[in-house]
Structure 1
Amino acid sequence: MAERANAFDRVLRQAGGPETFDVLAGRLPGADLTTLLLEVMRHRSRALSPADVLRRYGHDRFVAPAQVPFRRLRRAEDAVLSALPDEIELLTLAPVAPLGTHSALGPVDQNNVISTIRNSEVAADPTNALALEAALRRRADPTRPVRLAALQRVVRAQRFEGAASYAHFTLFAVITAGRDTGDLAFERTHAAEHLAVLTAAVRACGGADAEARVTVLDERFERVAAELDATPDPDRPGGRGYYTGLCFKIYGKGAEVGDGGFVDWTARLLGNRKERLLISALGIDRLS
């Protein structure tokens, strides 16, 4: 954090000081800022030669091809989709989402997302975009639950450690949105469905050791966890500020391959505390 602050202070001095930042960050309307930045990018791109572009391509981790061969990824995608029930609608998501999609819904630092100059950002997690689509559908017809899925190549700006860590990767995501009907009926029904779909998808990819591990974040959800075909995981350190009520991880092929849980995104998007949302995802690159 200190290194980032020092770099920001240095750049700010070169750019003209806090007054410049105030104009760009707040006082300049969004459309005008986009116009300015588009012209800046056009000016800078004109100064680039083909050799400059090739040099950038050679060392920029965000633009390098996937490390996992295409046919392996495709086989894993097909296997995962074979486990998806017909009742869950499969969408083809756009590669970008509105600016703030990831940081406004979940506690995600905007610097971990690739922001664009057109008030959008590169997809970092398909569950966020699926939540937006679910909110629109729930607003149009609040009487019907929304069950959606997607396969999406996403990009994340933070650096990950380990052999199976990539700057961009494919996620298979499932979300279910609906209304609280009492007695934790929504949570009990759809948590079981998500775990069944995800573990079946892992097995379809050859993960005979598919396993779900569940963490209860709210004691009221103990009864939900008790009905699930999952191993208790009370000491899970991550996800406690991201999920509410209950969350889970999916394991297979000797590694962690998926994650999910309940979030309050549609409740906040629609301004209705009765709205419920369950999200989950599998990493296809790790399953291939």
Structure 2
Amino acid sequence: MSDPMLERIQREAGIPELIDVLVERLAPTDLQSLLLEVYRRRAASVQPSHLLERYERDRFVRPSALAPGVLADFDRLVWSLLPEHYAAIELSPVCPLGTNVSVATVDQNKVVTTIRNTEVVADATNVLALECASRRRLLLRHNSQSRERIRLCASHRVVRAQAYQAAPGVLPHFRLLGLCTAGRDEGSFQFETTSLIEHIAFYVRLLREVSHLGYQTHRVRVTLTDLEHGRREQTLTSQVFEPLMAYYPGILCELDPDREAGRGYYAGVCFHIYATNGAGTELELIDGGFTTWTQQFLSNSKERMLISGLGTERLCSQFSALSVETD
């Protein structure tokens, strides 16, 4: 919200310091109680006919264009391929207020904030990171040097408030498959290389196996970006790319030193995975990288974390053999 708009609201309310009062002088629980009463009264005045109009025009509430069975089939494939040492969890629709802005470079205006000091999940990996940190903290209480890794996965519908370009099927909410691996620095870049192989190998296998569901994914391409001025490029080539190409002959692996997206969000190394659909268009499907989130949550510089995510509906809608035939 722009400053002139805030000034207008305060002026029309007759309370010049309205924002300061709400933010600084009211306890979070008091502000919550106030807003609950405000919206209780507003909700009571909503007429059914107006509700239907709102449902039809509000971009946040319209249903996905994909059938539930399509998403369920994709998730079943995911769970069948997920390595045994990963735990699949079902996330809550909401998470603590500030989950994104406190550790990630995300403006709070891009998140749907609730009046109960929570926010609607905008990125499953942020919440997986919190769960990883909680589990790591329990391990560290028993052994302050614990290297035991926490590996979590979730398939979750997320909501993002930023304005997207209007296009058929483009909604502020979509299903996101997220992976998160947390642990402790193991020296010699060992945590980083093995975690990268785990995440990337899972996605590459998934992109191959989706053919059983009728999706066409050709020319799978993996790119790695060393965000520390190329210091690790040789290590990434020998310890990540070479094992991956041995496991999955035919995949393309490239260093991408010119990548700009994700700088300031990721730390150390990040990656993209692309695939080409039946129409011959290459699309980015998976984004991932290391973050300092568990270091911040646990105030421990030795903690390490790799996150990654795949947009389920992007894959299902853009790589369907049926969609190519009907174009």
Contact (CA 8 Å) 2:64, 2:169: kept in 1 or not? no
Match of 1:250 among 273, 276, 286: 273
Cross-structure match for 1:84:
82
Cross-structure match for 1:277:
305
Residue 203 in 1 paired to residue 208 in 2? yes
State the alpha-carbon separation in 2 of the partners of residues 11 and 223 from structure 1.
56
Cross-structure match for 2:10:
12
Map residues 163-178 of structure 1 onto 2, 5 A cutoff: 165-178=170-183
Aligned with 1:248: secondary structure? Answer: strand
Match of 2:295 among 236, 245, 267: 267
Contact (CA 8 Å) 1:80, 1:205: kept in 2 or not? no
State the alpha-carbon separation in 2 of the partners of residues 195 and 115 from structure 1.
33
Evaluate the alpha carbon distance shift between residue 81 and residue 210 of structure 1 in structure 2; reply closer, same or farther with a 3 A threshold: farther
Match of 1:160 among 158, 164, 184: 164
Contact (CA 8 Å) 1:82, 1:204: kept in 2 or not? no
Match of 2:112 among 106, 111, 114: 114
Instruction: Give 1:46's aligned amino acid.
Output: A
Instruction: Give 1:250's aligned amino acid.
Output: I
Cα deviation for residue 42 of structure 1 reads: 0.3
Contact (CA 8 Å) 1:80, 1:202: kept in 2 or not? no
Map residues 1-288 of structure 1 onto 2, 5 A cutoff: 4-142=2-140, 143=146, 144-161=148-165, 165-206=170-211, 207-218=217-228, 219-226=230-237, 227-229=239-241, 230-252=253-275, 253=277, 254-288=282-316
State the alpha-carbon separation in 2 of the partners of residues 179 and 52 from structure 1.
54
State the alpha-carbon separation in 2 of the partners of residues 153 and 51 from structure 1.
28
State the alpha-carbon separation in 1 of the partners of residues 26 and 160 from structure 2.
28
CA offsets per residue over residues 90-130 of structure 1, 9 Å max, x none? Answer: 00000000000011110100000000000000000111111
State the alpha-carbon separation in 2 of the partners of residues 60 and 42 from structure 1.
20
Unaligned runs of 5+ in 2: 141-145, 212-216, 242-252, 317-327
Evaluate the alpha carbon distance shift between residue 184 and residue 129 of structure 1 in structure 2; reply closer, same or farther with a 3 A threshold: same
Cα deviation for residue 73 of structure 1 reads: 2.1
Name which one, 1 or 2, has greater alpha-carbon Rg: 2
State the alpha-carbon separation in 2 of the partners of residues 224 and 146 from structure 1.
24
Cα deviation for residue 228 of structure 1 reads: 2.2
Contact (CA 8 Å) 1:130, 1:148: kept in 2 or not? yes
Instruction: Give 2:263's aligned amino acid.
Output: R
Cα deviation for residue 231 of structure 1 reads: 1.5
State the alpha-carbon separation in 1 of the partners of residues 204 and 10 from structure 2.
49
Contact (CA 8 Å) 2:221, 2:273: kept in 1 or not? yes
Cα deviation for residue 7 of structure 1 reads: 2.8
Cα deviation for residue 200 of structure 1 reads: 1.5
Instruction: Give 1:64's aligned amino acid.
Output: R
TM-score (ref. length: structure 1): 0.94
Contact (CA 8 Å) 2:60, 2:171: kept in 1 or not? no
Which stretch shifts more, 17-26 or 84-93? 17-26
Which stretch shifts more, 226-235 or 148-157? 226-235
State the alpha-carbon separation in 2 of the partners of residues 41 and 17 from structure 1.
20
Instruction: Give 1:220's aligned amino acid.
Output: R
Cα deviation for residue 164 of structure 1 reads: 6.2
Unaligned runs of 5+ in 1: none
Aligned with 1:210: secondary structure? Answer: strand
State the alpha-carbon separation in 1 of the partners of residues 295 and 3 from structure 2.
34
State the alpha-carbon separation in 1 of the partners of residues 84 and 218 from structure 2.
23
Task: Percent identity, please.
Answer: 44
State the alpha-carbon separation in 2 of the partners of residues 257 and 236 from structure 1.
16
Instruction: Give 2:269's aligned amino acid.
Output: L
Contact (CA 8 Å) 2:65, 2:169: kept in 1 or not? no
Instruction: Give 2:50's aligned amino acid.
Output: D
CA offsets per residue over residues 5-55 of structure 1, 9 Å max, x none? Answer: 333332232233441111111110000000000000001011111111111
Cα deviation for residue 282 of structure 1 reads: 0.5
Instruction: Give 1:178's aligned amino acid.
Output: G
Instruction: Give 2:233's aligned amino acid.
Output: E
